[in-house]
Structure 1
Amino acid sequence: MTDKLFNAIKGLNRDEAFKITEELLEKQVNPEEILAAGKDAMQIIGERFEIGEYFLPELMVSGDILAGIAKRVKPYLQGSDDAKKHGKVVFGTVAGDIHDIAKDIVVFMLEVNGFEVIDLGVDVPVEAFVDAVREHEAEIVGLSGFLTLALEPMRQTIDALKTAGFTDVKVMVGGGPINDTVCKDVGADAWGENAMDAVTIAKDWLGIAA
């Protein structure tokens, strides 16, 4: 029945996806299987976005669907809190930028791939990233930004992490204005075009098999 969920998400059918999710949970289907269906569907949606078949509105709908599914599934995952995670990732949209769809998709994909994600939300001050890394002893920081104005806060955040002594913490960046040149300019260790790039980068940094 997770195939039906996969098709509903892939087809951007919000109500159907939520209905199927609730039915699966009632039937005590493993919540990890439900999240896996979301993960697989998002790969397809990401591919369609990259080739121009889907655009920002479709991406926003898919993000909303994923958020709704995650909200429904999370209570059933509480028993797995003690399960071994790959590593800790502090993630957020930098100061001055309030876009959350891309961030939410990346956070979802990292979580379903076994990472513990500390999601700081949007318009996150530099100090909040530093404090979160210190508090949670995170190995990775993810900085998201959709607007060009996000670049300076990214640079400031990375500088602040280094100043605070977190030179071993890896930083990835992503968003509309990001490319290889920008990544190097702001001082990040890597950048990604989509959520699966973020997962691949994080796994590579921590030596986890793909």
Structure 2
Amino acid sequence: MTPIKLYRNPKSGHCHRVELMLALLDLPYETIDLDMANGAHKAPEYLKISPFGLVPAIDDGGYMMADSNAILVYLVQTYAKESKWMPKDPKQAAEVQRWLTVAADNIYSGPCAARLVKVFGVDLDHSAAVTKAHDLFKMMDTHLDGRNWLATETITIADVAGYSYIAHAPEGGVDLAPYPNVRAWLARVEAEPKFVSMATSPIPELA
């Protein structure tokens, strides 16, 4: 199998969730780090792969896709040997989709946004992002009480989509100490065979 090309920023949680999925599925892949500081993600040749100029994007033998959650769906429906990653049961599939929405909304505006401020210097309301992150983690800690995974009884793409920015929330100044169930869930993801970590950044004062 020809390696799947993953265009990325190595410190992006969106990119890491795709790399994590590739690793968990034991798929051959190569990473291509874009010099985003110098506009590589806006270059005409890259816009042919990712029309919005965003990372991550993949090139799988000529098939291009540039949305992290969509890439997760594509990878498991194309290559997964087990149906657990994206269940076919309508209720379970709906649970997975709900958490993909959380990843695109609550996680993005909470722990992701807080980290964008601290790691990348993006001009966002850090205090509001930290508040949203804690609101999310309180809900998740309750949700994970007595259960191992977010959507079903096994790991799914919901867990992969949620992991990266939550695991690295301290880099955005968000303390995970008050959330034992969330931390236990992160540890379960990290214990999965073939798990790969994301590049880390210095941890600022936590809130």
User: Under a length normalisation based on structure 1, what TM-score does the superposition of the two structures give?
Assistant: 0.32
- If each structure's helix is expressed as a fraction of its own residues, which one has the higher value? 1
TM-score (norm 2): 0.33
